[in-house]
Chain A
Amino acid sequence: MTDLPASKVDLKSVLATPARVDNSEGMSYLQSVPRRLVTLYLPLTIIVVVLLFPFYWMALTSVKPDDQLLDLDRFNPFWTWNPTFKHFHKLLFESYYPHWLWNTMYVAICATILSIVASVLAAYAIVRLRYKGANLVGGLIFLAYLVPPSILFIPLATVVFQYGLFDSPLALILTYPTILIPFSTWLLMGYFKTIPFELEECALIDGASRWQILIKIVLPLAIPGLISAFIFCFTLCWNEFIYALTFLQSTSNKTVPVAIVNEFVDGDIYRWGSLMAGALAGSLPLVILYAFFVEHYVSAMTGAVKE
């Protein structure tokens, strides 16, 4: 017990020293502590609290017992002392929720894999094969990125109907790549550009075919890019709403976002507890994935914008 404070201080000074050595503090020493408190920490705290409050509220609602949910006067609404997992139990065992989760996962993974394969080939061809008109095609793909799904869903619904794909997960697996391919192609083009030409030239001299170069040299070097593209595409798929809302009809085929909006809101009696539990359970997989790959995620987001 007596050792604890001492070791704490030690650790602190050890952590702080390298920061001073490499001058990463910059010019912040010019500002006094009270000033920093007002200009930096206070606004930052307010913004972060506002940004995170809905999740706290979502989580709290999902474990509150029903009587506390709608009675704001007898109970403090910001906390609950007797959390219940009733809403989650109802979600998992008395609804199609596991089905919906599985559908979302299945569609997201298939669409992501399809689009990553297509984009790897396209990006490699545009950046490294430099066929005639490669730049033009690159530009067109960027334009495709700017075409929003809300313009396309009506004609796509007729196309999906014509191909007999209506109300099948295949409709989503085939249409999601139109959102994902432009994005991931641009992202991967950026990554492929950073791989030195010399590596490919050496391989060509040693008699490797283009295909072998792509599989054995370029792809292993672009793994961070592939992970970024994969995670971002997966998130986009999970998030997609309008296509899933339009192309799917039967309850058991729906994806999580659509199902929660359509199936959990019955008439005037809003089942807030299970609604919030559903929303929370639908977000958690993405948040967990994100927690593991923050850096990749950020580089995907900024990479696609910088290009």
Chain B
Amino acid sequence: MADVAIPRAKPQMSEDNAWTRLKHNRNWLGFWFMVPAMAFLIFFLAYPLGLGIWLSFTDTRIGRVGHFVGVENYEWLWDDSIFWLSVFNTLLYTFVASALKFAIGLYLALLLNENMPFKAMLRAMVLIPFIVPTVLSALAFWWIFDSQFSIISWSLKHLGLINQNINFLGDTTWARICVIFANIWRGVPFVAITLLAGLQTVSPSLYEAATLDGATRWQNFRFITYPLLTPIIAVVMTFSVLFTFTDFQLIWAMTRGGPVNATHLMATLSYQRAIIAGQLGEGAAISSAMIPFLLAAIMVSWFGLQRRKWQQGENND
């Protein structure tokens, strides 16, 4: 046995330098562990991100390789009223939906944080709209907002509030309201449940102490809940703004940008131009134009709330 073991040990010793070092060096090991994730992210995320910006400077169409045309696509967009309408729609959609999602979500989180029977079941039920695929619930809304057979119109008519069916998705203002409503409906559970998780980390003794000192419910919320919740609000709202701004599926399933482009967001417009009309370059320019807005939205919601937290911390000192 010993005779066999010795010759075996030798090649191992000689390999030690190259192979074993690769195997045991932390940096190399780390590199090997990162390879699969990095491969995906580089080939299918970083590279396309760069490629998208490059495409926006070319006149590529589907089935035809493009040539560099400089900022021509952007010049086109600059004079394109539909593009500006979509920018306006996107900003309106993001702003209104995010603000209401935050308000309703926070309110719902505070309600769910109270002690009551069937608490766990209620929380589980509240999250269901977030679980169900957006497109499928959007279809349900499409049916609820149908121009002729809408259950809302029917109910309002029977309550005697209106005489005619409301043309929910055919009227520009109503269509915007409906789309924003559907987005809020889907986003509120996410905001509420994540804020609820934050609320549960707030120690009840703080409220008891404040109540003994004569604080009202509003003061409890304003001076205990809100400051302690600020960091998690910043993160949740950053995500919420980001996903609302880049929303695509809800609009596509409900209105496809209609009526008269009143609900076209930048994402849906870029899909229409790039994939349906085949103008890949122009579509890429629209989606690249989203990047600065996105960065700005992230900065505002992130640093805005961070700064407030810092200011409050300083005031307390």
Contact = CB atoms under 8 A, between A and B. Distances in A.
Contacts of A48: 122, 125-126
A226 B136 CA distance: 27
A261 B267 CA distance: 17
Interface in B21-53: 23, 26-27, 29-31, 33-38, 40-41, 43-49, 51-52
Interface in A144-160: 144, 146-159
Interface string A262-285: 000000001010011011101100
A257 B140 CA distance: 13
Interface stretch (B9-17, B74-82, B172-180, B184-192): B184-192
A239 B44 contact: no
Interface residues of A, number: 98
A169 B121 CA distance: 37
B303 interface: no
Contact of B235 (A25, A40, A305): A305
B119 to A, nearest CB: 10
Interface string B120-145: 00111111110111111101110110
B298 interface: yes
B194 A301 contact: yes
Nearest to B133: A239
Contact of B287 (A125, A154, A272): A154
A283 B243 contact: no
B104 A47 contact: yes
Given A57-B151, A148-B294, A305-B239, A131 B30 contact: yes
Interface stretch (A3-11, A69-77, A93-101, A194-202): A69-77
Task: Pick the most buried of A117, A158, A210, A275: most chain B CB atoms within 10 A of its CB.
Answer: A158
A122 B185 contact: no
10 A-B pairs with least C-beta separation:
A131-B30, A125-B33, A148-B246, A150-B267, A122-B37, A302-B197, A155-B52, A118-B36, A241-B249, A155-B48
Contacts, number: 278
B156 interface: no
B88 interface: no
A7 B131 CA distance: 38
20 contacts: A30-B211, A44-B108, A44-B112, A77-B154, A114-B40, A148-B243, A150-B271, A151-B291, A154-B283, A155-B49, A159-B48, A174-B44, A177-B44, A242-B267, A257-B135, A261-B253, A279-B136, A283-B136, A294-B127, A302-B193
Could you say which interface size class chain B belongs to? Answer: 35 or more
Contacts of B123: 298
A155 B284 contact: yes
Contacts of A275: 139, 143
B84 to A, nearest CB: 19
Interface of A: 24-28, 30, 40-41, 43-44, 47-48, 50-52, 54-55, 57-58, 61, 69-70, 72, 77-78, 114-115, 117-119, 121-122, 124-126, 129-132, 134, 137, 141, 144, 146-159, 174-175, 177-178, 181-182, 185, 209-210, 235, 238-239, 241-242, 245-246, 256-258, 260-261, 270, 272, 275-276, 278-280, 282-283, 286-287, 290-291, 294, 297-298, 301-302, 305-306
Task: Pick the most buried of B143, B211, B243: most chain A CB atoms within 10 A of its CB.
Answer: B143
B242 interface: yes
B262 interface: no
B126 A242 contact: no
A57 B144 contact: yes
B93 to A, nearest CB: 13
Interface in B44-100: 44-49, 51-52, 55, 60
Contacts of A122: 33-34, 36-38
B248 interface: yes
A125 B34 CA distance: 7
A158 B55 contact: yes
B316 interface: no
A156 B188 CA distance: 31
Given A72-B154, A298-B193, A121 B128 contact: no
B107 interface: yes
A114 B271 CA distance: 28
Contacts of A132: 27, 30
Contacts of B104: 47
Given A24-B115, A47-B126, A297-B127, 16 more contacts: A25-B115, A26-B207, A48-B125, A78-B151, A121-B35, A131-B31, A146-B298, A147-B49, A151-B290, A151-B291, A158-B55, A241-B135, A242-B267, A257-B133, A279-B137, A305-B235
A151 B204 contact: no
